[in-house]
Amino acid sequence: MKDLPIAARLFVGAVLAAGTLILVLFAPHSIANPLLFVVLLACSSLASALKVRLPLASSGSTMSVSYAVDFAALLLLGANETMIVAAVSAWSQCTFRTETRTAIFRTLFSMASLVLTVKAAGFVYTLLGGVTVVSGFSLFAIPKPLVGAATTYFVFNTLLIATAIGLSTRQSIARVWNENFLWSAPSYFVGAGAAALGASVIDQGGYWWASLVAAPLYLTYRTYKVYMGRIQDQQRHVAQVSDLHLATIEALALAIDAKDQTAQSHIRRVQVYAAGLAGALGMPDNEIQGVKTAALLHDIGKLAVPEHILSKPGPLTQEEFQKIRIHPQVGAEIISGVPFPYPVAPLILSHHERWDGKGYPSGLKGDEIPLGARILSVVDYFDALMSERPYHKAMSLDAAIGLLRQESGKALDPRVVQTFVDMYSELAAEAEASQEPSRKLTRVPTHAPTAAPAVGLIDAAPVPVARTNVFQDIALAHREIYALYEIAQAMGSSLGVSDTMALISSKLSNIVPFSCCALFLYNEESETLRCRFATGVESDTIQQLTIRNGHGLTGWVARNRRPLVNARPSTDFEAAGVPSEHTTLHSALVCPLLFNERFIGTISVYHTEPSVYTDDHRRLLDRISEQAAAVIYNSIVFEQTQEDSLTDPLTALPNTRFMFMHLTRELARAERLKSEVSLLVMDLDNFKEINDTYGHHVGDRALRDIASVLRTGIRPYDICVRYAGDEFIVVLSGCGGEEAERKRLELQQAVDSLVFEARPGKMLPLAISVGAAVFPHDGDSYETLLATADSRMYRDKTRRKRDVSNGQAADDQARPQPQPRTATTLSDLDLQRAAIGVL
């Protein structure tokens, strides 16, 4: 508890004191029904094991179905005895089946908060006229007290916990409550209803009947557990993506830091110091993340400072110092174009401001300087003192801390300095632990290759390429860093594969020349590589290429996981079965894309000039490929996830989620244009009999066949959706009532004419019932339209059943006595029955 902020400690203490006081003052001296009390106490403790973890960052809070038992105890025993039941239940929930050991103060807080909650709910219940079972309980006489008590229980319990979490994490209490607890309100009312039902059953029929109430409680628990599991999976995915983004930025920052051979691991130490100091000073999580990112990038503006000035061992001239002074502004301008979700550029801009107002570039003073920038100033200054630099020797720890104290109140914020000095040992240990070996980029050696390319992939006598001069090499090195940084920016955007490659290719053109750039993605099932993106010369042709693994340039790279330099592009065309005689491309550079040692595809660049690529181009593209692999992989996952979330996996039709998105847009457009939109709700007749008689796999085939018929029976801009198990919905844009009725009959007739083979030789007729609703005549919202169409569909189903029954009865009465006939006198009805396997 000592790690909590003062406000959180005071609040927890107040709740503990209030809960203890209420329990002491109102605890019952005797139990009216000891057996019932013990049973409810045991049930509540056992039910507390059925709990779900709330998706909070660090609180570890859980929610269990023991609430329903506690509420039943409130109705059966009264508030005073229920306080004991709830307190024991809270202790059980915090003690058993927990992932980590719960701190004592958390357990006591949970017990005290439930005591207060139960007492408040009992007070409201009594105030609104509610009575216990002992006093003449009637289920139909307590709706108002029941709702009031459930509301009070929900508000008290969740607000107490949300306040504790908000004060502990320095977040808005309203935001914590709204994001993490408001959605749980239905469970409280469901639990209260189940508790009232259980209490009534116990009162009227005995204890054993109460076990029937456990079903809805367990169903509620399972629903919330699945929902919470999905939220945790989403949070885990977001955290992984965020870590990947930060790792990419870190890789870029370390590459810049590596230029300064005298400042190894400087930014990593600064980041650890800054993050720890920001947390100790009470900054919110998002701002701490901003400080960490700014610590990585705070010196990125030194790219605009000549190298000889940065490494000059003697004092700087006035002109040289003015050149140094621009780097915060340059760094802030570079970062300002990156859409970070937290402030980064202002921290980089102000990290050389002084507490006394004599810093640069803006001359800010005191609290005018952002706190994150003040933190960066202290840790950057301290690490510079402790590091070996061309212009000074590394200082001892005591000397560096002494200089920090000397500058406190002058250049540095006194509070930040004191906090840093107090926790330096802890921060230093953390920084030491973070000094993991740098990740080495895998490089294919340019000499003695392990496997030579197949004959015909590379020209036998390559044209010699002139070596670039040193100034071009230096410029290329800077462009390489900028290209890596710009590609890292792509990590922060949820782009598709094509958009991601368009961005990467635009940045790639600055460092590797090409006439055409293409991305091939590998399909493990078919062992082929299909071009997913191409831009430039002959891009339309290249985009149609599909190449088998091991064939052509791309297939060779896929099999050997090694780049190819100055290979013949025509080989890829030939491998894909495309004529290559007229191609204008004469050289190619192909690099594999590997993500976590998994091959996902290749990046290929082609040029109209022969042998234009050098080994340095290979090195650059190889490095870009390493960075781009993660971006492209994320884009593939993003597209697949987006497609899966909007598609029914069985029928490949759009799903309900897509329908609501589409229908919302169409209704808004129809309202704006004063036009009409029609909905057709369809239900497959006798589908259960198919499943029961022939099996669900046959039912699935029937659904797929019907989906195919419906899909082909509508216009390209209309949609057919699988709404539920055997229900479909068609949305007809710009369609009125008469057109909807015609389309309804057309689709029914199309399905009626479908002959479905359930098993070899066994044909079954299929049919659907359809109901239509038209916007705006039948309703102005999709809920109303769906309800109307659904109602009409069921009327249609009833009518069709009645017509079939009447037709069969009339047929039985009118049917003449069977007469002998030959096979050549089959009637139309016989032919129809033969077609469906009835005869």
Q: Which of 758, 744, 723 is nearest to 799 (CA)?
A: 744
Residue 109 three-state SS:
helix
d(CA 512, CA 618): 9
Q: Which of 21, 65, 20, 75 is nearest to 44 (CA)?
A: 65
Interior angle at CA 84, CA 81 and CA 85, nearest 5: 90
- Quick one: pLDDT band at residue 559, thresholds 50, 70, 90? very high
d(CA 623, CA 620): 5
Residue 599: per-residue pLDDT: 93
Of the spans 509-513, 616-620, 809-813, which averages the highest pLDDT? 616-620
Contact partners, residue 475, CB within 8 Å, separation at least 6: none
Is a pLDDT exceeding 70 seen at residue 136? no
d(CA 741, CA 295): 66
Over residues 314-336, the pLDDT tens digits come to 677 888 888 888 889 988 888 88
d(CA 753, CA 829): 15
- Quick one: pLDDT band at residue 141, thresholds 50, 70, 90? low
State the pTM of this model.
Answer: 0.40
Is a pLDDT exceeding 70 seen at residue 466? no
Residue 112: per-residue pLDDT: 92
> Where is average pLDDT lowest: 323-337, 345-359, 476-490, 644-658?
476-490
Residue 797 three-state SS:
helix
Residue 463: per-residue pLDDT: 45
d(CA 569, CA 579): 12
Report the amino acid identity of residue 34: P
d(CA 84, CA 97): 21
Residue 319: per-residue pLDDT: 83
Structural domains in the chain, sorted by start: 6-234 (1.10.1760.20), 258-433 (1.10.3210.10), 471-645 (3.30.450.40), 656-811 (3.30.70.270)
677-684/727-733 β-pairing: antiparallel
Over residues 568-590, the pLDDT tens digits come to 899 999 999 888 888 899 999 99
Segment 368-372 shows an average pLDDT of: 93
Residue 755: per-residue pLDDT: 80
Residue 788: per-residue pLDDT: 92
Over residues 793-829, the pLDDT tens digits come to 999 888 888 876 665 555 555 445 444 443 333 344 3
Cα–Cα distance list, 409 to 183, 325, 412, 417, 531 (Å): 48, 22, 6, 9, 62
Segment 605-612 shows an average pLDDT of: 92
The DSSP element (H or E) to which 598 belongs, if any, is: strand 598-607
- Quick one: pLDDT band at residue 259, thresholds 50, 70, 90? low
Is a pLDDT exceeding 90 seen at residue 717? no
Is a pLDDT exceeding 70 seen at residue 133? no
List phi, psi (to 5°) of 581: -65, -30
The proportion of the chain whose per-residue pLDDT surpasses 90, expressed as a percent, equals: 23
Residue 620: per-residue pLDDT: 83
Question: Is residue 698 within 8 Å of 638, Cβ to Cβ?
Answer: no
pLDDT higher for 410 or 1? 410
Is a pLDDT exceeding 80 seen at residue 672? yes
Over residues 400-443, the pLDDT tens digits come to 899 999 999 999 999 999 999 988 888 888 888 776 544 444 44
Segment 455-467 shows an average pLDDT of: 48
Strands, E assignment, 50-133: 51-53, 62-64
Over residues 50-107, the pLDDT tens digits come to 666 655 544 445 556 677 788 888 888 888 888 998 888 888 888 877 767 778 888 8
Residue 458: per-residue pLDDT: 55
DSSP 281-319: TT--HHHHHHHHHHHHHTTGGGGGS-HHHHT--SPPPHH
Is a pLDDT exceeding 60 seen at residue 113? yes
Residue 600: per-residue pLDDT: 92
d(CA 721, CA 659): 7
Is a pLDDT exceeding 50 seen at residue 445? no
pLDDT higher for 113 or 132? 113
Question: Is residue 358 within 8 Å of 308, Cβ to Cβ?
Answer: no
Segment 153-179 shows an average pLDDT of: 84
pLDDT higher for 304 or 108? 108
- Quick one: pLDDT band at residue 151, thresholds 50, 70, 90? very high
Is a pLDDT exceeding 70 seen at residue 656? yes
Residue 772: per-residue pLDDT: 93
d(CA 501, CA 241): 19
The proportion of the chain whose per-residue pLDDT surpasses 70, expressed as a percent, equals: 77
Residue 536: per-residue pLDDT: 92
Of the spans 90-94, 143-147, 188-192, which averages the highest pLDDT? 143-147
pLDDT higher for 645 or 723? 723
Tokens of 627: 């960075």
Residue 176: per-residue pLDDT: 80
What value does the mean pLDDT of the chain take? 79
The stretches of 357-496 forming alpha helices (DSSP H) are 371-386, 397-407, 414-422, 424-433, 470-490
pLDDT higher for 769 or 649? 769
